[in-house]
Copies of this chain bind each other. A is one copy, B any other.
Amino acid sequence: MGKIRCAILGCGNVGSALVSQLAEGHDDIVKRTGVDIEIAGIAVKDVAKHRNTDVDRTLFTDDPFALVDDNSVDIVVELIGGMDPASRLIDMAIGKGKSVVSANKELLARRGSDLLSAAASAGVDLFYEAAVGGAIPVVRLLSESLAAERLYRVSGIVNGTTNFVLSSMSEEGIDYNEALEEAQRLGLAESDPSADVDGYDAAAKAAILAGISYRCDVRLDDVAHEGITKVRAEDVQYARQLGYVIKLLAVTELSRQGDTVPQVSVRVYPAMVPVSHPLASVRGAYNAVFIEGERCGEIMLYGQGAGGAPTASAVMGRSVDAAIKRLAGHRPYASMIPARESVLRAPRARVSPPSDLRCAWYINMDVRDKPGVLAAVAKVFGDNEVSIRSMEQVGMGGEARLVFVTHEAREGDIDQTLEELNGLGAVENIGGILRVFGDNRVR
């Protein structure tokens, strides 16, 4: 029977769920896998706060560096989050030849490529399943099951808070502020919700997804992101009428494979998704990742994207992996290949300029209701190579509301169209502008 000693850094929601899962699941894991995982220590900010748990109190320490430095520790599980000291602790762990399991999306989105290459050089595992998609094992699926696949688009609902808010707006007909307050009441949104609603959290996850999907180094700063704060109740209603739902999506695409360096686009934006698309049925705080590949076709993973127990379950799965690999003496294959540089370090991605990207758009504007206005508006679209797929006009007294859905168009052309429309005297206000996702499914 192999014993593996595991240091846990951080004991918040996920950490405490992990500690109890390791305790409750201990005998099960031994029976199923032959691996005996023992907690070597739990690093927390304030040891006194953890006095009243069931956990052996001597395990707690406020010195994470000493814990990582302990030679008896085999695996370090980092659940602190943020850049510092998590970043230094992981560097130290890898330097000391320990395997690392981390749920730290920000760190992975900023330094993932460095860390992965350091881990491979050191012959240790660095797993980060829970950094994207919570309980959903999307990292393993992309990096192992689909290792030989040619993926061209990987998109997802990767932020449960915003999906809950948008689902509530759609299902209950309430506006953004009401829906956000409800999410806060239910503990699904922070009192300062900006990291979620501004798309920052989703952007970090998008960078990680793109890096795995296209085997390249994509960083948080590469990701253009928009949040959901401008999504209006009326856009949600128009979307429904047109057969769409609005979702905050992380969309990563392979624009061009290139000889050595893939060109990608990696973005986060609220989009209209056709109700028949599998992502449209992902409601509430759930997450999902939708994968499109040349051979595998469409694959979707769906599950709980947050929460202590589900996230801890993903961390636990990877901790057992890391433990098995250490006991079996399995070093990562990348570290064993001669001339391994290209496998060890993914090339830095080239990011496509946003203006070149193509998709369909929803544009909603109020115009003066008089003859010739529609013709003038339509001319602006046409002059800019934007072709209109559908238009609905809703009379509103002296004004009219025009709701357009375009065919696929270059984003640069859409920007120019909007600028010129804003300059038209007859256009009062351009209210809602959203990308349309998923009309161009391959199969």
Contacts and interface: CB of A to CB of B under 8 A. Distances in A.
A301 to B, nearest CB: 6
A122 to B, nearest CB: 16
Contacts of A300: 300-303
A146 B317 contact: yes
A149 interface: yes
B135 A299 contact: yes
A317 B145 contact: yes
A307 B295 CA distance: 10
A144 B140 CA distance: 9
Contacts of A427: none
Interface string A1-43: 1100000000000000100010001001101111000000000
Contacts of A28: 148, 150
A345 interface: no
Nearest to A136: B299
Nearest to A257: B28
A243 interface: no
Contacts of A1: 337-339
A418 interface: no
A211 interface: no
B309 A295 contact: yes
Contact of A333 (B307, B316, B328, B342): B328
Nearest to A275: B281
A309 B300 CA distance: 17
Interface in A328-376: 328, 330-331, 333-334, 336-340, 342-343
Interface string A140-165: 11001111111000000000000000
A31 B324 contact: no
A411 B308 CA distance: 37
A34 B317 contact: no
Contacts of A399: none
Contacts of A297: 135, 303-304, 307, 309-310
A112 interface: no
A321 interface: yes
Interface in A278-323: 278, 281, 293, 295-304, 307, 309-310, 312-314, 316-317, 319-321
Contacts of A307: 297
Given A141-B137, A296-B314, A302 B303 contact: no
Given A147-B321, A149-B316, 4 more contacts: A25-B148, A148-B319, A301-B301, A328-B330
Interface of A: 1-2, 17, 21, 25, 28-29, 31-34, 129, 135-137, 140-141, 144-150, 215, 278, 281, 293, 295-304, 307, 309-310, 312-314, 316-317, 319-321, 324-325, 327-328, 330-331, 333-334, 336-340, 342-343, 443
Q: Which 5 residue pairs of A and B lie closest in terms of their CB atoms, listed nearest first?
A: A137-B145, A299-B303, A295-B313, A34-B337, A300-B302
